[in-house]
Amino acid sequence: MFEMIGGWLQRPNYIAFVLLFLWGIYIMVTRYNLVKKLIGMYLMQTSVIFFLVTTSAKRGATVPILLSTTDVIQSEVYANPLPHVLTLTAIVVGVATLGVSLALADAIYKKYGSLDEEEILKRLE
């Protein structure tokens, strides 16, 4: 038991990821304000991006640009660039999603005069 918890504590990044992810879901589920829901959604998306970056982190490694073109390439000197590239794309996707969602929230506010989900559902009937 203690070994397991000790093992977890060695990886604070993953704990942070799990907390952020669950926190995002918690906000999405419990808040009635649409913008707050979006904040939760964005937190969740960001936590996944954080996870991707964490998997590529390497102690003592540098940016993946070759230090020398003549030496044999040592992979442990460089960080893995691929997750960063995925992250960039995922951030762009996240921003686009946020843009569409804010536009929808704005249209809902103009139509129903409220951002509170219960209030909106009441007016829908």
Partner 1 sequence: MTRHLPAIFFLLPLGLAICLPFIGIKHREWCRPLSIGVLATMVPVSFANLIGVLQHGSIHYDFGGWAAPVGIEWVADGLASVMTVALSLVGLVCITFLSSVLFPYLGSRIVPFYTLVLLLIASLAGMVFAGDLFNLFVFLEVSALCAYALVGLAGGKALVAGFRYLILGTFGASLYLLGVGYLYAETGTLNMADLAQRVPPLVASKAIGVGVLFMFIGLGIKMALVPLHGWLPDAYTYAPDRVSPMLASLVTKVALYGWIRIMFWVLGAQAVVYQIPILFLVGMLGALAALVGAFLALSQTDIKRMFAYGGLSHIGLILVGISLGNQTGFVGGVFYLLNDAVMQAGLFFWAGAIIHLYGVRTINDLGRLHGGAGWMSVALVAIALSMIGIPPTGGFFGKWYIVLGAVEAQNYLAIVAVLIATLLTLAYFVKLFERVFWDRSAQQPPLIREIPLAVRIGLGATSVAVIVLGLTSDFIVSFLLKNAVPPGL
Please pick, from the candidates 22, 67, 82, 91, the single residue that binds partner 1 as defined by CB under 8 A: 82
Closest CA to 55 of 17, 21, 93: 17
CB atoms within 10 A of CB 24: 20
In which element (H, E) is residue 43 found? Answer: helix 34-56
Q: Does 86 bind partner 1 (CB under 8 A)?
A: yes
Q: Closest separation between CB of residue 20 and partner 1, Å?
A: 11
**Where does this chain touch partner 1 (CB under 8 A) — which range of 3-11, 58-66, 70-78, 117-125?**
117-125
Within 1-60, the residues that bind partner 1 by CB under 8 A are 21, 25, 28, 34, 37, 41, 44-45, 48, 51-52, 55
CB 76 within 8 A of CB 58: yes
Cα–Cα distance measured from residue 123 to residue 57, given in angstroms and rounded to the nearest whole number: 50
Nearest to 8 by CA among 97, 18, 79, 68: 18
Is 88 a binding residue for partner 1 by CB under 8 A? The answer is no
Q: How far is the CB of 120 from partner 1 (least distance, A)?
A: 6
Residues touching partner 1: how many (CB under 8 A)? 31
Question: Taking contact as CB under 8 A, which single stretch among the options 5-13, 60-68, 70-78, 87-95 is the one that binds partner 1?
Answer: 87-95
Instruction: State the Cα–Cα distance between residues 112 and 65, nearest whole angstrom.
Output: 53
Nearest CA among 10, 114, 95 for reference residue 45: 95
Residues that bind partner 1 (CB under 8 A): 21, 25, 28, 34, 37, 41, 44-45, 48, 51-52, 55, 82-83, 86, 89-90, 93, 96-97, 100-101, 103-105, 107-108, 111, 120-121, 124
